């Protein structure tokens, strides 16, 4: 089974977006198990034992939406440091994906990432998907965009995520995109997909697992071209490999991945 962890806060709209995304995963009714987790804030005097899941409207709404969609749901309440508890439960479940809720900035269509979301995705090597308000999720087959850079390890993590989706060979089609940075001027050199080892390996690996793959290479400002490609192809999600390690083994979010996550009007998954 594909294990999804959905940590929710008190915002019911955000929790429902997270649940809708999980319910839209391929074959979710038969192949997905979801855990809806509410972590009692350290600012409250209550412990997990003193808080009833059914009293948390946002958590109940998420769980009921998933169950109405045929997804098996485990309801949990935790306490302690919020990010730490999310990470602990993710490890306990050995979950395949964490689904976190983004925040919309008032007046503009940008997802504003909260501190808990950021703490989680810089502290785990598991795929983390960020959803946002106003996104539309369609179930069934899934079209994903994989923008790659020249880092082979990041590209391999993107492949691992896409191929691990439920019944990926039957349900997932992929576009592998490489953007030659800033090369959209007149007289720019040819944009040859086959010249980028990480892009070729990504496409070959996906095809070897039975996925249908489109290979695309263009030039320009990377984040903008990624967003344009996602919109033009009406993909269901963008799968980024934007995490990298510093010299002290702290995970950092690359600027391009951050720009895409903050601006995309569809879910963005960060794989590593």
Q: How far lies 266's CA from each of 24, 43, 78, 138, in Å?
A: 13, 32, 29, 11
This prediction has a pTM of 0.90
pLDDT band at 118 (very low <50, low <70, confident <90, very high): confident
Q: Alpha-carbon distance 53 to 57, whole Å?
A: 8
Burial 205-236 (b: 16+ CB within 10 A, else e): bbeebebebebbbbbbebbebbbebbeebebb
Does pLDDT of 128 surpass 80? Answer: yes
Q: Report pLDDT digits (tens) over 15-53.
A: 999 999 999 999 999 999 999 999 998 777 677 788 899
Q: Report pLDDT digits (tens) over 218-244.
A: 999 999 999 999 999 999 999 998 655
The angle subtended at Cα 211 by Cα 29 and Cα 195, nearest 5°, is 145
Poorest-pLDDT segment among 1-5, 39-43, 198-202: 39-43
Q: Alpha-carbon distance 144 to 213, whole Å?
A: 10
Are the C-beta atoms of residues 84 and 96 closer than 8 Å to each other?
no
Q: Alpha-carbon distance 223 to 216, whole Å?
A: 15
Q: Which stretch of DSSP H or E encloses residue 2? A: strand 2-8
């Amino acid at each position: 089974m594909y294990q999804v962890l959905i940590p929710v806060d008190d915002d019911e709209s955000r929790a429902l977006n997270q649940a809708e995304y999980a319910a839209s995963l391929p074959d979710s009714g038969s192949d997905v198990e979801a855990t809806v987790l509410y972590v009692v804030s350290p600012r409250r005097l209550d412990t997990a034992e003193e808080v009833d899941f059914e009293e948390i409207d946002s958590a109940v709404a998420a769980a009921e939406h998933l169950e109405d969609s045929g997804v098996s749901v485990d309801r949990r309440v935790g306490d302690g440091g919020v990010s730490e508890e999310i990470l602990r439960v993710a490890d306990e479940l050995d979950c395949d994906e964490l689904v976190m809720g983004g925040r919309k900035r008032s007046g503009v269509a940008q997802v504003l990432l909260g501190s808990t979301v950021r703490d989680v995705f810089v502290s785990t090597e598991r795929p983390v998907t960020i959803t946002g308000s106003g996104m539309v999720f369609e179930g069934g087959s899934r079209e994903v965009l994989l923008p790659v850079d020249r880092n082979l390890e990041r590209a391999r993590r993107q492949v691992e995520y896409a191929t691990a989706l439920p019944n990926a060979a039957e349900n997932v089609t992929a576009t592998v995109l490489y953007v030659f940075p800033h090369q959209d001027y007149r007289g720019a050199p040819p944009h040859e997909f086959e010249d980028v080892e990480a892009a070729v390996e990504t496409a070959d690996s996906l095809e070897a697992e039975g996925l249908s793959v489109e290979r695309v290479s263009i030039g320009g400002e990377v984040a903008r071209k990624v967003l344009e490609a996602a919109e033009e192809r009406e993909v269901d999600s963008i799968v980024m490999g934007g995490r990298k390690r510093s010299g002290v083994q702290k995970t950092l979010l690359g600027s391009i991945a951050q720009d895409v996550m903050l601006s995309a009007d569809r879910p963005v998954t960060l794989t590593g």
